Structure formats: structure tokens, C-alpha cells
Amino acid sequence: RDSFDTGGLQTLMVRQGSWVRSNGGRSLLVVDKIDSNMRRQLDSNCLEYVETWDSDKIAALLKKETLRISGLVYLMSYELIDFLKLEKILFDSGLKGCFKHILYSVYPGTTRIASQAGGGVGEFVRSFYGKIVQQCLSNRQMLFMDADCRDAAREMHHLDSELFSNTILPLGMNITERSEVRRIEDIEPRTILTVSRAIFPFKGYLVGLLHTFAEMVFDYQDLRLKIVSFGPHIDILKNEINSLDDEVKAKVELIEGASEESIRTMLQQTWLYIGMGTTVLNAANEAVPSIVVHHHTLDCKACGFFSDDPLTIGLQWEDGANEDVSRLIEACIELDDEAYSSLCAASRAALAENYSIDKVMSRLLSCFEGAGDFRLSRRDWAFVKLLDRVRGLRRKMLDLG
């Protein structure tokens, strides 16, 4: 089942590395742990990778890279903690001037460290990381995949909006060639597909979608719901499905994990996609209309159609404005063949315009060129090291590896 453990960030790394390689560059992925599916993807794309998170080994690796390459090396992290770890390695190894380093936030929690910690200690830690985020932004060393990630950092640390100007860099996607027109008459029955890990409440929309579907299916007998999922709360999802009326349950299919290729095949036979994150982009790549939903709620709250707001592929639910999912589904049901085909084309056009990997990676390279140099005092580096140790002990206690 490890074929489903490779998520959106991991496949993004493969796309980024492949783009660099195909454009005459060289990429190296340094990871703590990867599953067998990720390893297969890296190998099949002839991408170099090293499995270690030991500071001394990484330092030796980075020194080796500077000897192989004349000029600057570009370094990208995806977590604030990892960014600091690598900066500390550069600092200790005397390699600060050899690398341009950017933090690319692909999850709202990236910059919300200690958000739930109480008391004076929690406030001190949040303030400390707030200063780090502020410096990264001032140095143009921080990018966000969408407005959700950007706003999480801005609201958490109460920073000036000016610091966040031009910091959104959408996920780069390989846009597949398509010439055929998708038609309703070629899709029987009307299948709604969603692909998501069962991690609640983060991706609790799965539960809400089941209830929405159960309410609608009696009025629209040709509707079907297909869920591809796997994760720590899969049993909760199964129990929710088993609690449905038999007539509804017969029209719900749960698939526990699937390969990228099989998901692509499912999408080609899908009438409507509902979900968030990279999966929405994968659906648009197959010209499947998508309804984007909020995360961190057990209800199914919609942000709207992807084609209407392509830079929003998920927002945290905080009792804000939302679209009625059932109304959006009904709007699709009411489309005639021509209007449905137009919606399919609009979804794919929105993807190509905003997420083409050629456009995104070209902009990323220019961001590297304009990035500054991150600096902390020795006292602050000592505090970073202490926090990293505390985090490591916590991970061991929780058996997170």
C-alpha cells in the first residue's frame, strides 16, 4: 500500500528535478525517508537522491557539490524547520556564500510552529519564529504555493502585507497534450471522484462529501461516488460508508490506495472531481471539472469551481464564506453537452495558464537570483538547535521516526 504514500509534495519534487534535468541542469534530492513508489519515480526519471538527514553527512554532501560546480548552487527547502537546519549546516561549514536558498511553503502549517502552545514559552517561541519568517520575506527567500499558505504566515505572525507581495508561486505541473473534447454522453454514469488521504480533520471533507452525496442521490439516480483513500483514519471513513442506507451505499465505491496511473485512468472516466491540493490540478490536466473544497472541517464546504479561481486549490475553514457543494453539483447536472465541454476546456486552460511547469520554474530561477542571505546570531542558532532537539525527542516519543 506504500504506492499511495507519495503525496503532492513528493511528486512536485520529481517534476521539478525532471525539469531541471531536461533543461541541461542537475538536481539532487536529499530526503529523510521515502516510500518505494517515490524511489521508483526518482529512478525512472534518472534523478539523483540521497536518503539521510544526518547533519554531518549533509554537510559533506554540500561541500562535495560546491567542488563539482563552478558558481552558485540553488538550494530549496519545503519546511521552515528544514530550512533552518540547512542554513545552520551552511553556517557551520563555511558554505554560506556558495548557495542561494529558498523556502517554498506548500502547507499552511509550515510557518505556524507552536501555534497551539500556551503560556509565556509558547509566546516566546512564536515570536522567535516570527522574526525568522520576517527575515526570510525581507530577503526574498520565502515563497508560497497559494494564498492559503501565504495568509497563514501573515496572520500567524502579524507581519506587514508589503512583505508578502509577489510571493505566490503556483505548483509547477506537466501539462499533457489533449485534442479530444470531453462530452457528457461519453461519461456514464455521472461519477464523482475524490482522491485524498484519510487524515481528519485536515481532510475531513471526505466525511461531509459522503453526507452530501447521500442527500442528493435519491433525486439524481445516475450519480455515483468513487473515493480513493488511505491513511490513519480510513476506518472512520469506512464506518461512515457502512452507516449509509443500502441504496446509497451501493453507489459508493471506496478504493484503498491506487497508483498514479490508475488514478489517471479513473479521471478519464470521471464526470466531476471534488477535492483540494494537487489532486485538483491532476483532474484539470485530464480536463475534468473540479469543485475545490475547504480543509480542516468534517463538512464539505466548497471554495468554488477551479476554473473560476485557479489559484485557490484549498482553504482552511474558519467559518468564512463558502459555496454550497450540492448547488455546484446540481449546476453541473444542468449543463447541456456543449456547456459541459466548455467547462472541461476552461478547467484545463486555467491549469495551463497558471501552472505550466515551464512558466513556474523560469520564475523560480529568477527568484533564486534575487534571494538574499539569511543570518542569525550565534545565540539564536543555539536556540534553533535546542528547539530542533526538543522536536526530535517529541517525534521519538510519538514514534514519528
**Is pLDDT of 356 > 60?**
yes
pLDDT at res. 10: 86
DSSP class of residue 143 equals E
For the segment 147-161, the average pLDDT, to the nearest whole number, is 92
Q: Which three cell numbers stand for residue 16?
A: 521539478
Q: Do 206 and 196 meet the contact criterion of CB atoms below 8 Å apart?
A: yes
In tens, the pLDDT along 166-223 reads 999 999 999 988 777 888 888 878 999 999 999 999 999 999 999 999 999 999 999 9
Q: What is the mean pLDDT of residues 90-113?
A: 91
Taking residues 50-78, report their average pLDDT: 90
Residue 322 pLDDT: 81
Q: Where are the alpha helices (DSSP H) in 69-146?
A: 80-93, 119-138
216-266 tens-digit pLDDT: 999 999 999 999 999 999 999 999 999 999 999 999 999 998 888 899 999
pLDDT of residue 183: 87
Question: What confidence score (pLDDT) does residue 198 get?
Answer: 95
CA atoms within 13 A on the CB side of 393: 6
Strands, DSSP E only, in 157-314? 190-197, 223-230, 252-256, 272-275, 290-293, 301-305
| Helix, strand or coil, per DSSP, at residue 37 | helix
CA 390 – CA 99 distance, rounded (Å): 28
Confidence check: pLDDT of 316 > 80: yes
Give percent above pLDDT 90 in the chain. 71
State the pTM of this model: 0.86
Q: How confident is the model at residue 397 (pLDDT cuts 50, 70, 90)?
A: low
Residue 4 has pLDDT above 50, yes or no: no
First and final C-alpha spacing in the chain: 19
DSSP 8-state symbol, 199: -
pLDDT in tens, 287-300: 999 999 999 999 99
Supply the pLDDT for residue 6. Answer: 56
Mean pLDDT of 314-325: 83
Output the pLDDT for position 8: 79
**Distance (Å, rounded) from C-alpha 277 to C-alpha 8?**
8
Residues 6+ apart with CB under 8 A from 148: 108, 312, 314, 315, 316
Model pLDDT, residue 83: 94
Average pLDDT, the chain: 90
Identify the three-state secondary structure at position 308. coil
In angstroms, the CA 137 to CA 139 distance is 5
Closest CA to 193 of 82, 112, 277, 275: 275
Mean pLDDT value across residues 322-336:
94
* Cβ atoms of 26 and 189 closer than 8 Å: no
Find out whether 76 and 101 touch, Cβ atoms under 8 Å: yes
Q: What is the pLDDT of residue 203?
A: 95
Instruction: Give the type of residue at 233.
Output: H
Taking the alpha carbons of 111, 117, 118, 124 in that order, is the dihedral positive or negative?
negative
pLDDT at 372 over 70: yes
Q: Flag whether pLDDT at 126 surpasses 70.
A: yes
At residue 269, the pLDDT reads 93
Rounded to whole angstroms, how far apart are CA atoms 371 and 110?
19
Mean pLDDT lowest among 4-13, 84-93, 101-110, 222-231: 4-13
Write the pLDDT tens digit of every residue in 72-83: 899 999 999 899
Mean pLDDT of 160-166: 95
